[in-house]
Structure 1
């Protein structure tokens, strides 16, 4: 995994290459951010289910033959490190594919390789499975279930490496049909003509079908896959026999128990492979609980309504910068509370995840600064950790914004996280935003008391802003009520 970095001024593929977002949507391809990674992952279990004909046919074939090649070499390997083992090691390519703009890489999408220890661990587990008599290549995508350290990014990048030729073909054909400028990238990319990433000129942009993406590949998402796995009674009984109460076991213990149970029986392993493969579903774009597609829509919209909404701070100090950032926060608050933007934070009766609120705020802040030519750079952590925002305008002026849902760890966020971030950023100006979706309880009173106590000690404290993001009745319902 690449080092955690920050994202400034996100640039969409569609914006940079002036491609219609409708064309991308029609082709069912993700509109990548060129200078950052999106925390979505390719799930190999979704490839056979894709509506993209090339992915469903050739992609599936490439994936299965790639996995089969690894399994075939392992099956003839007699000792770890022999010629066949080394062949399987080389065939199992785990290097990061920054060209897709997916995963935990954060800003810069630089990509990196993974340690040999991880590859050898996967091969050992696969060898154990082969010893059971199972040579099904579908075992490879299940490695996160058995092997510690095989995370969603590892599985996604491994899959991307096997799918690279067909992904390059899909990208080349889309670009040709939509007049996107391309150039040759050589043998590594199947001699395809592909668009150049302006932030990594030596690498192309590779477009990915949206229906093979998940927020976490199923096999790497224990909370989801355990539900599927534990529906198989034989597995449930075997795992429970190892733990009196599985619910109290750690994640590592659960994985170890599942591994012991499944790798003791060929029939259980086959049942597991079939059940997990059938259960995989792509990221729900309609619900968009993490706000990834909503973020893209906001960045693609006409920015004219935000013209004149912000002006440059008078001086390059944190105190005057704070006023400008507060204007951004208040504008966002007005959009949510008075202009129905709260609707973007809900899917029916279900509130979206904290990340959706954070990305929505980041998009609005970015547009306000850009369209008004304001010398403020909103930054956000775009990797796997918590998302916070830093606004800067020269070395002396920095303001941090931390955003939490009212149902989240509000007190912890105010007391601990923000103070740590403020020290790290060498600034004493900050704003703590609570998105009130209900369930606030006494949290607001507690952090207001923390603020009062700190001020009584003569300490600088973070501003607290509460934004009402609760579901509201529709206009028609409100009007009917008034009649």
Structure 2
């Protein structure tokens, strides 16, 4: 049933029990856009979190001591440096699913090459996120995946304790889990057996994650933040002579820069020349650590409000007020019916409030697409998020068997590439997916965006087309002259 999208609903758990336990009410249909930030373990006042952070650093120390050996032996490199995604926590970037890529050879080699710098003996504290400062190809999802793998024993015990207290034994099972705990004597990962909640035809187990180690945006320590605050980091250097040398070198490199982003080029050159700037930056982030906890609370509250509470409310309203979850015999009709129901909900039933972020419009199409995708749960059709069939990913493909399929492309009117997308992109997707049936959904939030959108539609002769659905999500929700 559509109403069983979330952990509490599926397992018959009181939400108050989840809240008091401090766990996220995960979605069992799609990953939620949250990530584990190891800095929150470091910053926390909980002793158990400090122990977890110390265990991460201990393992990094082992990797440092044995990295040369691992680079010579592919098997050891795979055993010690490769990690799969812990998809059972339902966190991350995957839409309408929970399957990710995990941490393969590229990440393993990057980590091994930077371990000596990360574990600088002159620093009192060490942060896993340091690898993100040294390699711009390492993202927050990689740091989150590695952290989750290295604290997996804690997450498993945390989930098992809740399950034994609150979940009926008919919805739990004992299962063996691999790579739970590293044995430093045998230099190998051990498996363990846990009594965990499970669901679905494949008996997939589920893991709960504490709210207070989650963040929605970047990890607290990250490269973009360092670049933005470079001047402040330099000024934090107590050594006046060294500070002067840093500023002089940066100014020189800025004058010599030839790239499209001269400031970034000059900063990166200065970081290479003065690697002690990394330590200064991390010390600054440690001093401001309380803000990391506040940001984490705000971001988690936002995700819970928008992607849990409001989605659940919408699903309940659509079930009770409409035939949104009814079956129709054609994928295009099914998709168009749901898109029109979504439009009606936003424009006429105060639904515009839920696709605005704290009174402001969604600025990220991924958020709107996730929101829209979640309310499709329960359809008898096969709905895939961004299937890539040779010419790039489309937002949604709706199908019923091999020959019956339609595409849904959802965009914000503020998208700078909107005209190009409407002219070319969907046609390319249609060809790649072997269908001529597609629907374009375009959301606008103010009159300026509406005027821009109508101008583009007129230019492309797409006005008053059935398969071009315009959604008025203005916060004042005034009647719009737009038609769909």
Fold shared by both chains (TM-score > 0.5): yes
- Say which structure, 1 or 2, has more relative contact order (CA 8 Å, 6+ apart): 1
The answer for the alignment partner of 1:38 in structure 2 is 32
Find the aligned partners of 2:367 and 2:282 in 1 and give their Cα distance: 33
Q: What are the superposed Cα offsets for residues 237-269 of structure 1, whole Å, 9 maximum, x if unpaired? A: 465653447994399958844641552x2xx33
The answer for the alignment partner of 1:356 in structure 2 is 367
C-alpha contact (below 8 Å) 1:96/1:111 kept by paired residues: yes
Find the aligned partners of 2:420 and 2:222 in 1 and give their Cα distance: 26
The answer for the alignment partner of 2:162 in structure 1 is 174
C-alpha contact (below 8 Å) 1:437/1:471 kept by paired residues: yes
Q: Give the alignment of 1:293-332 within 5 angstroms.
A: 293-294=308-309, 296-298=311-313, 301=316, 304-309=319-324, 312-313=327-328, 316=330, 321-332=331-342
C-alpha contact (below 8 Å) 1:295/1:360 kept by paired residues: no
Unpaired runs of 5+ in structure 1?
Answer: 1-7, 370-374, 456-460, 475-483
Q: Give the alignment of 1:18-33 within 5 angstroms.
A: 18-33=12-27
The answer for the alignment partner of 2:187 in structure 1 is none
The answer for the alignment partner of 1:97 in structure 2 is 86
Measured at CA, do residues 424 and 86 of structure 1 come closer, stay the same or move farther in structure 2, by a change above 3 Å?
A: closer
Find the aligned partners of 2:345 and 2:29 in 1 and give their Cα distance: 27
- 3-state secondary structure, aligned to 2:208: coil
The answer for the alignment partner of 2:428 in structure 1 is 420
- Report the TM-score, using the length of structure 1 for normalisation: 0.76
Q: What are the superposed Cα offsets for residues 252-290 of structure 1, whole Å, 9 maximum, x if unpaired? A: 958844641552x2xx33222222342533261444499
Aligned length: 439
Q: What are the superposed Cα offsets for residues 208-260 of structure 1, whole Å, 9 maximum, x if unpaired? A: 11232223442686444533455313588465653447994399958844641
The answer for the alignment partner of 2:377 in structure 1 is 366
- Pick one of 41, 49, 58 that aligns with 1:68: 58
Find the aligned partners of 1:449 and 1:10 in 2 and give their Cα distance: 44
Measured at CA, do residues 20 and 224 of structure 1 come closer, stay the same or move farther in structure 2, by a change above 3 Å?
A: farther
Structure 1 residue 158: Cα displacement? 0.8
Instruction: Select between 328-337 and 93-102 the one with higher mean Cα deviation.
Output: 93-102
Q: Give the alignment of 1:327-476 within 5 angstroms.
A: 327-352=337-362, 353-366=364-377, 369=379, 375-381=380-386, 388-409=395-416, 410-438=418-446, 439-440=448-449, 441-451=451-461, 463-472=467-476
Find the aligned partners of 2:82 and 2:61 in 1 and give their Cα distance: 14
The answer for the alignment partner of 1:481 in structure 2 is none
Find the aligned partners of 2:19 and 2:263 in 1 and give their Cα distance: 38
The answer for the alignment partner of 1:116 in structure 2 is 105
Does residue 146 of structure 1 match 2:124?
no
The answer for the alignment partner of 1:157 in structure 2 is 145
C-alpha contact (below 8 Å) 1:289/1:356 kept by paired residues: no
- 3-state secondary structure, aligned to 2:403: coil
Measured at CA, do residues 152 and 9 of structure 1 come closer, stay the same or move farther in structure 2, by a change above 3 Å?
A: farther
C-alpha contact (below 8 Å) 1:99/1:205 kept by paired residues: yes
Does residue 194 of structure 1 match 2:196?
yes
- 3-state secondary structure, aligned to 1:34: coil
Structure 1 residue 448: Cα displacement? 3.2
Does residue 205 of structure 1 match 2:211?
no
Does residue 249 of structure 1 match 2:258?
no
Structure 1 residue 442: Cα displacement? 2.9
C-alpha contact (below 8 Å) 1:294/1:360 kept by paired residues: no
- Pick one of 103, 117, 126 that aligns with 1:128: 117
Q: What are the superposed Cα offsets for residues 382-421 of structure 1, whole Å, 9 maximum, x if unpaired? A: 99x9771222233332222211112113213212332222
C-alpha contact (below 8 Å) 1:156/1:217 kept by paired residues: no
Root-mean-square deviation (Å): 4.1
C-alpha contact (below 8 Å) 2:347/2:477 kept by paired residues: no
Measured at CA, do residues 84 and 68 of structure 1 come closer, stay the same or move farther in structure 2, by a change above 3 Å?
A: farther
Find the aligned partners of 1:262 and 1:290 in 2 and give their Cα distance: 44
- 3-state secondary structure, aligned to 2:127: helix
Structure 1 residue 344: Cα displacement? 1.1
Structure 1 residue 310: Cα displacement? 6.5
